[in-house]
Chains A and B, each alone.
Chain A
Amino acid sequence: MNSFNLTRINRLSPYRVELGDNELVFKTDYDILYSVWFEEQPVPGIEAKAYWLNLTNYSQKSSPGDVKIRQTVTCILEEFFRTNPDVLLYMCDSANDQQAMRSRLFLRWFNAYGRQAEYYTCTEMVKDGDEESHIALIVKRSHPLLQEIIEMFDEEIAMFRANKPQ
């Protein structure tokens, strides 16, 4: 993974982003520590490089209405796509059974980001046994394998919904 330019992130980020142990960390006005890290993970059926985005609230306290968090994460994501024009997947944190809410929030973040023309985003709920997971796909529309990636993702979602023949 190509390394990020922290100066470029901090030029626009409302919270100061610092480099941690293989992660980017920032502290909010409410003293809440957030961590953002990317994990490379080959996705079956995709030739392109893919990463999982992980966003963790270390303090485990809520900070309702803090738009600066969204703006900071957005700055980090912009830097990710600037230096790594790859596929980004995101699975919402399942803490407190708030996955669906987090999925909606994440989509709202990206919509508020106002870059739909530049990025293809899609969030879906999949069921593995009794366990529900909300996953999101983000990929730059300029990605040379965009169509293949979307088709693969849609196919996987369709297979989650279909019953596998025994």
Chain B
Amino acid sequence: MQIYLYSLRLIEILHYLCSVKAAIKRAKSRKLAFELFRAEADSNEVQTLNNEIMEATTTTFTAMQWARHEQFVEMLRAVKQRKRERQAQIEMRLKEEAEYIRKERARLDAIYKDLDDELI
């Protein structure tokens, strides 16, 4: 009788272990399925983004829009050119100022040298 009860208990434990194993397997397959779903969703998202980028870069503009764009580009170039010219002017002015300071310093050095010579 005792052996019979032990056997029943053992069968119960085995049955429980089997159900746990099955649950783990199901969870694993669900996780895998979810990951597959995510990967697919991501790839769909990437595809959508790619399509959007393609669409954005292949947007067609009218000849009138391109003509206006040309004017816009010309305006940018003109602004850039004026900036460069002003930059060159600044650099020239700084050079002139540096040269003026150098000459003034040399002139003052010469005056002090003459004074020193007279004093000596």
Contact = CB atoms under 8 A, between A and B. Distances in A.
Interface of A: 39, 41, 43-45, 52, 54, 56, 58, 60, 91, 93-95, 126, 128, 133, 135, 155-156, 158-164
A137 to B, nearest CB: 12
B57 A162 contact: yes
Contacts of A135: 76
B80 A162 contact: no
Interface in B79-117: 79-80, 82-83, 86-87, 90-91, 94
A93 B83 CA distance: 8
B66 interface: yes
Interface of B: 56-59, 61, 65-66, 68-69, 71-73, 75-80, 82-83, 86-87, 90-91, 94
A41 B79 contact: yes
B23 to A, nearest CB: 53
A162 B62 CA distance: 13
Contacts, number: 60
Given A41-B79, A44-B71, A93-B83, A158 B56 contact: yes
B82 A39 contact: yes
Contacts of A56: 86-87, 90
Contacts of B72: 43-45, 156
A95 B57 CA distance: 31
Contacts of B79: 39, 41, 52, 91
A54 B86 contact: yes
Contact of B75 (A43, A161, A164): A43
B76 A161 contact: no
A95 B87 contact: yes
A54 B85 CA distance: 13
B94 A60 contact: yes
